[in-house]
Structure 1
Amino acid sequence: MKNIPLYEVRPISTLKDMLESSARLYADKAAFLVKTEEGGSYKPITFEQYLNDVNALGTALISLGLSGKRVAIISENRYEWTVAYLAVVNGTGVVVPLDKDLPAAEIKNLLLRSKADAVFYSGAKKNEVETIASELPNLQYLISLDDTQSNGRIVSYKSLMEKGFELVNGGDRRFIDAKVDREGMSILLFTSGTTDKAKAVMLSHKNVCSNLMDMCSMLYIDHNDVFLLILPLHHTYACTCGFLCQIYRGSTIAFCEGLRHIVKNLKESKTTVLLAVPLILESMYKRIWDHAAKDPKLLRKLKLGLKISKILKSIGIDIRKKLFKPIHDNFGGSLRLFISGGAAIDPKVVQGFQDFGIHCVQGYGLTECSPIIALNRDVDYRNNAAGLPLPNVRVKIHNPNEEGIGEIVAKGPNIMLGYYEDEKLTKETIVDGWFHTGDLGYIDEDGFLYITGRKKNVIVTKNGKNIYPEEIETLLNRSPFIAECVVYGRESDSDGDIEVAAEIYPDMEKVKEELGTENPDEEQVRKLIEEEVHKVNRTLVLYKYVRHITIRDTEFEKTTSKKIKRKYDSKK
């Protein structure tokens, strides 16, 4: 192990303490960059203003009788979401962030399960929330982020803010002086599982603050950084790593106008760090090569540049930013780091961005862990590893097999309080303080953690061989003709043994290009995909061969964190 010293971080005990100390340290600096009109320019909101807004809203919520209550938020990413979040957890009650893309019936179910007393919602969810509300007698207040006037049970965010400032200016300190229980439940999160019903995870200030301090001691982030927020805030990865971390470190958060505006917003905000999921980064990387492939001269130039860069770098000369200036300019010219999480990323993509002079690291975590367990450092990393365990988190492999692969278990101050109203599942998942992740992996001699797949996805053949679908999916997805795939186990038609199968969604644009026709028939598409599968099979041991394929004509259904919803129960 390299034993490189950790970065120094300031201690924080609660998110309230974090916000107040950041507002003192970075008072006039921009905490957020927001757009008040589509296509307009970014306007800054300072740390001091943000603290004042949180205090005003928190005071107004207490005046409504919401102290100690559950308050849900259902909205797209926006400044008001962040104000509502800290106004609830920093002295009012328990915050319940919900996925805005859920169907109305599921929103109703989660509001019932969480026993929410109030809900913040945006104009886009107005009809659904207000219709559902009539069936939820426990829901006392509907706080509309976009209505300008209050009407009975529906309270306008704008009027609530005005009321809050009036109360604070009049000396009301109920929220400002409120004591926060750092070890009690303050956050209730519903996981967007790829196969199961949503689990309700209870987190505390202590859980999240320990995670913030640990991750920032491993990866250097400071007040000069600007993050473009592209992932949904209701998800713990975006919330802890893309919002709370930035408030803690004095960085600036720019709100993205939507995935199709990423490149434009990167330039406008002068983003230095982008937090993303593999799907987005792999798509960006693919686009660089697709663009180059259209011009043979440009492609040769790019490949030559990579060769020259590697030779020079080996003797300590780094000219990547100069050599690959068009790529850097396309990402806004200021980007220094990609952070990937939410799922495993193809190591070739990570290496590819590094070769272009944009550092890229990945981490690993789960909602139940607030969320980070392991992280590759900017100064100590392995591109095919999930990372090194956080400084205050212990990670070990439970019941390893002869290859050293077993279930990843973790213990530390970031581990959840438990599953809400599910003591049985909590006891099954946290055993003697160790959280059982359900993920399989191993730890190398230098302490790096590697993920091989989900325990429940493993394909086990009749002679006891373990096959990890994720490994084969990564290889298949490297084909230019395969957009997405899911690998699973099925019973063989011939001998009844378990064989590897793949359902594949082709990249039809690339397929048409390769076949030289706008209307390829099913047989042509199948033949091309089969050839790609055979290429992958040649790199695998015999028992891992993909023996059966089905081709689909629509994308796989995904969670809002862009993970494919796996509907296969691999035969075991």
Structure 2
Amino acid sequence: MREFSLPALYEVPTDGNLTDLIRRNAAQHPGAVVMGKKAAGAWLDVTAEEFLAEVRTAAKGLIAAGIRPGDRVGLMSRTRYEWVQLDFAIWSAGAVTVPVYETSSPEQVQWILGDSGAVAVLVESDAHTAAVESVRDRLPELRHLWQIDKDALDRLREAGRDVSDETVDERSSVAKADDVATIVYTSGTTGRPKGCVLTHRNFFAECGNIVERLKPLFRTGDCSVLLFLPAAHVFGRLVEVASVLAPIRLGCVPDIKNLTDELASFRPTLVLGVPRVFEKVYNSARAKAQADGKGKIFDKAAHTAIAYSRALGAAQGPSFGLRLKHKIFDKLVYGKLRAVLGGRGEYAISGGAPLGERLGHFFRGIGFTVLEGYGLTESCAATTFNPWDRQKIGTVGQPLPGSVVRIADDGEVLLHGEHIFTRYWNNEAATAEALTDGWFHTGDIGTLDEDGYLTITGRKKEILVTAGGKNVAPAVIEDRIRSHALVAECMVVGDGRPFVGALITLDEEFLARWASENGKPAGSTAASLREDAELLAVVQRAVDDGNAAVSKAESVRKFRILPEQFTEEAGHITPSLKLKRNVVAKEFADEIEAIYRR
């Protein structure tokens, strides 16, 4: 057994709650710009004073509608300014926010609102309203439904016209640090989603210590962050609350479809994303360079960036020749890449899945350091992260200050601290299984080095055991294979089988480009090309690269390209892009059998 801890840097308020932050900001920095609000394609500044007023207005309507302290209120919307406003309004009414992914099915909506006992729900669109209405007869406690895209805010403003600021402030102060702030339902890779109960204390401990440890990234009046992750996900909530706690300017966009344009217009100093976002930036830049006839220059620049970053960790540092090459490529390539990421930022934070050493070194080498972290819904998002001044690429960093990471005898990662959730809502059995004497059993397998940096090597429940008795952790090889531009997803199989295989889906954007460049028929798809010899050879190279990271017994011997993508709608992946392995294995059982057919 091995464990590591760091002293807390932030003192959690004993009797306050998260609404104290917006009142503090309005009192201490009334004219400071704390939000960016998108309207008619342009960013509008929202000051601390203005944000408090808009939150109060919505909270008045909730109070007038009969929302009481402790009531659960659902919030189903894409990431947008109103999400943050309404989240704080629900808290200001003394209530508990229950996020619902905007992509949720009616059955999922019914489960989350019903299990939490929500008395009201705020949704974004007609489709969301229809989803709620289709199951409303199974939600006896649901009394109110407001739609943001119609007149929700106007209705709340009108309903709360006679409610005073003093009434809102009085209601805002009801909840204390140990009271429930939100119930976040896990994505549910297996079984029904479980409601993680997170308190105001959890968020204070989490966000306060992150802001203190990453102080240069959260400078008030100078720094800003663009949130494009789902606000319903705990990582999105971390961004929201940390930005308000700092405070720094926060902007919200609903997705990553036009991410480069959004980054260029908002120009954040800090970017938070999942590895797939950073893979897309790299792959898109490389594909564009190849299309412009500059592929060799880009590859040399990438090689130099990686070598430069690796040399930064060596005692002697980069050689003179390497520094010279790096300086030249900074003008030719790296500066343009930083401009794609907004032009002002030097740091990003990545979570949700392993980033991989290659990408980590590449981005640090171009002057845009991606700090990798690790966390779960139950740990209120990040429970470890790489500090800005002591990064170890390839690890997920050191423990959150004020917390402890322990590696159990069987290799499982255990967590302890004020940021750990208190229980699963209405699920004592699951709570007892996950929490033992204050320690949260993550289900992840990992190691700690002498400096307390954590490396995640797999999931206890995802460990495959081949027919030959070899234990295989899928994550390592899957991440390497998935880093190829053509690969969208990869799922390793082989439990009880004679060797390891893989199911692979293709990235539609890069497949179309590859098909055009290699003389394939217009409109070619994964289904039409999955047996194409040239395509199979390219994917084989991606598999070979993945195999280089593991032993021969763990390597992928055969793979199948699937004719379709893994999608959330089909139930293959969660809203946070985690594979539902049991669903994929069941749906593509014939493809798996084909791998092992002689």
What TM-score comes out, normalization by structure 1 length?
A: 0.88
CA contact (8 A) 1:204 1:416 kept: yes
Instruction: Pick the structure with more helix per residue.
Output: 2
1:326 equivalent in alignment to 2:336? yes
- CA shift, 1:349, in A, is 1.0
CA contact (8 A) 2:349 2:372 kept: yes
Indicate the residue corresponding to 2:277 in structure 1: 280
Indicate the residue corresponding to 1:292 in structure 2: 289
Alignment map for 1:10-409 (pairs within 5 Å): 12=13, 13-37=16-40, 40-68=41-69, 69-124=71-126, 125-148=128-151, 156-164=152-160, 166-168=162-164, 172-173=167-168, 175=170, 178-220=173-215, 221-223=218-220, 224-240=222-238, 242-256=239-253, 258-297=255-294, 299-300=296-297, 303=300, 307=304, 310=308, 322=331, 324-400=334-410, 406-409=411-414
Indicate the residue corresponding to 2:314 in structure 1: none
CA contact (8 A) 2:7 2:402 kept: no
- Equivalent in 577, 581, 596 of residue 566 of structure 1: 581
Indicate the residue corresponding to 2:444 in structure 1: 439
Separation in structure 2 between the aligned mates of residue 138 and residue 424 of structure 1, nearest angstrom: 25
Separation in structure 2 between the aligned mates of residue 533 and residue 50 of structure 1, nearest angstrom: 50
Indicate the residue corresponding to 1:453 in structure 2: 458
CA contact (8 A) 1:257 1:265 kept: no
CA contact (8 A) 2:205 2:419 kept: yes
CA deviation map 1:497-516 (0-9, x unaligned):
4x211001134336536754
- Alignment size in residue pairs: 547
- CA shift, 1:62, in A, is 2.2
- CA shift, 1:283, in A, is 1.0
Compared with structure 1, are the counterparts of its residues 511 and 436 closer, same or farther at alpha carbon in structure 2 (3 Å cutoff)? Answer: same
- CA shift, 1:201, in A, is 0.7
CA contact (8 A) 1:91 1:180 kept: no
Indicate the residue corresponding to 1:500 in structure 2: 500
CA contact (8 A) 1:278 1:345 kept: yes
Separation in structure 1 between the aligned mates of residue 17 and residue 441 of structure 2, nearest angstrom: 26
- CA shift, 1:377, in A, is 0.7
Sequence identity, in percent? 27
Compared with structure 1, are the counterparts of its residues 532 and 277 closer, same or farther at alpha carbon in structure 2 (3 Å cutoff)? Answer: closer
- CA shift, 1:157, in A, is 2.5
Separation in structure 1 between the aligned mates of residue 436 and residue 234 of structure 2, nearest angstrom: 23
- CA shift, 1:542, in A, is 2.1
Compared with structure 1, are the counterparts of its residues 7 and 336 closer, same or farther at alpha carbon in structure 2 (3 Å cutoff)? Answer: farther
RMSD over aligned Cα atoms: 2.9
Compared with structure 1, are the counterparts of its residues 306 and 29 closer, same or farther at alpha carbon in structure 2 (3 Å cutoff)? Answer: farther
- CA shift, 1:267, in A, is 1.3
Indicate the residue corresponding to 1:472 in structure 2: 477
- CA shift, 1:55, in A, is 2.4
CA contact (8 A) 2:272 2:349 kept: yes
CA contact (8 A) 1:146 1:157 kept: no
Which deviates more from structure 2 when the two are superposed, residues 437-446 or residues 548-557? 548-557
Q: For residue 257 of structure 2, what is the amino acid of its counterpart?
A: R
Which deviates more from structure 2 when the two are superposed, residues 302-311 or residues 526-535? 302-311
Greater relative contact order (Cα < 8 A, sep 6+)? 2
Indicate the residue corresponding to 1:152 in structure 2: none
Separation in structure 2 between the aligned mates of residue 491 and residue 173 of structure 1, nearest angstrom: 60
Separation in structure 1 between the aligned mates of residue 80 and residue 485 of structure 2, nearest angstrom: 36
Compared with structure 1, are the counterparts of its residues 543 and 193 closer, same or farther at alpha carbon in structure 2 (3 Å cutoff)? Answer: same
CA deviation map 1:34-93 (0-9, x unaligned):
1222xx211111111111222232233223221121111111122222122112224422
Indicate the residue corresponding to 1:542 in structure 2: 552
CA contact (8 A) 1:306 1:356 kept: no
Structure 2 unaligned runs (5+)?
A: 312-316, 568-572, 587-591, 593-598
Q: For residue 213 of structure 2, what is the amino acid of its counterpart?
A: M
- CA shift, 1:531, in A, is 5.2
Separation in structure 2 between the aligned mates of residue 511 and residue 281 of structure 1, nearest angstrom: 20
CA contact (8 A) 1:31 1:45 kept: yes
Q: Secondary structure at the match of 2:54?
A: helix
- CA shift, 1:532, in A, is 4.3
Compared with structure 1, are the counterparts of its residues 547 and 61 closer, same or farther at alpha carbon in structure 2 (3 Å cutoff)? Answer: same
1:554 equivalent in alignment to 2:564? yes
Q: For residue 62 of structure 2, what is the amino acid of its counterpart?
A: L
Q: For residue 344 of structure 1, what is the amino acid of its counterpart?
A: P
Compared with structure 1, are the counterparts of its residues 502 and 57 closer, same or farther at alpha carbon in structure 2 (3 Å cutoff)? Answer: same
CA deviation map 1:87-128 (0-9, x unaligned):
222442211111110111221222111111011112342222
What TM-score comes out, normalization by structure 2 length?
A: 0.84
Indicate the residue corresponding to 2:424 in structure 1: 419
CA contact (8 A) 2:7 2:403 kept: no
Separation in structure 1 between the aligned mates of residue 144 and residue 170 of structure 2, nearest angstrom: 19
Separation in structure 1 between the aligned mates of residue 339 and residue 483 of structure 2, nearest angstrom: 26
Compared with structure 1, are the counterparts of its residues 476 and 11 closer, same or farther at alpha carbon in structure 2 (3 Å cutoff)? Answer: same
- CA shift, 1:417, in A, is 0.9
- CA shift, 1:136, in A, is 2.3
Q: Secondary structure at the match of 1:210?
A: helix
Q: For residue 157 of structure 1, what is the amino acid of its counterpart?
A: L
Compared with structure 1, are the counterparts of its residues 175 and 537 closer, same or farther at alpha carbon in structure 2 (3 Å cutoff)? Answer: same
Q: Secondary structure at the match of 2:164?
A: helix
Separation in structure 1 between the aligned mates of residue 252 and residue 19 of structure 2, nearest angstrom: 23
Structure 1 unaligned runs (5+)?
A: 149-155, 401-405
Q: For residue 506 of structure 2, what is the amino acid of its counterpart?
A: P
Q: Secondary structure at the match of 2:257?
A: helix
Separation in structure 2 between the aligned mates of residue 305 and residue 347 of structure 1, nearest angstrom: 13
Separation in structure 2 between the aligned mates of residue 304 and residue 106 of structure 1, nearest angstrom: 47
CA deviation map 1:470-521 (0-9, x unaligned):
11112222444433211122443xxxx4x21100113433653675433657
Indicate the residue corresponding to 1:522 in structure 2: 531
CA contact (8 A) 2:206 2:382 kept: yes
1:482 equivalent in alignment to 2:459? no
Q: Secondary structure at the match of 1:172?
A: helix
- CA shift, 1:161, in A, is 2.1
Q: For residue 85 of structure 1, what is the amino acid of its counterpart?
A: D
Which deviates more from structure 2 when the two are superposed, residues 122-131 or residues 106-115? 122-131
Separation in structure 1 between the aligned mates of residue 561 and residue 20 of structure 2, nearest angstrom: 53
Compared with structure 1, are the counterparts of its residues 388 and 207 closer, same or farther at alpha carbon in structure 2 (3 Å cutoff)? Answer: same
Separation in structure 1 between the aligned mates of residue 301 and residue 195 of structure 2, nearest angstrom: 52
Separation in structure 2 between the aligned mates of residue 305 and residue 506 of structure 1, nearest angstrom: 23
Which deviates more from structure 2 when the two are superposed, residues 278-287 or residues 455-464? 455-464
Which deviates more from structure 2 when the two are superposed, residues 178-187 or residues 67-76? 178-187
CA contact (8 A) 1:381 1:387 kept: yes
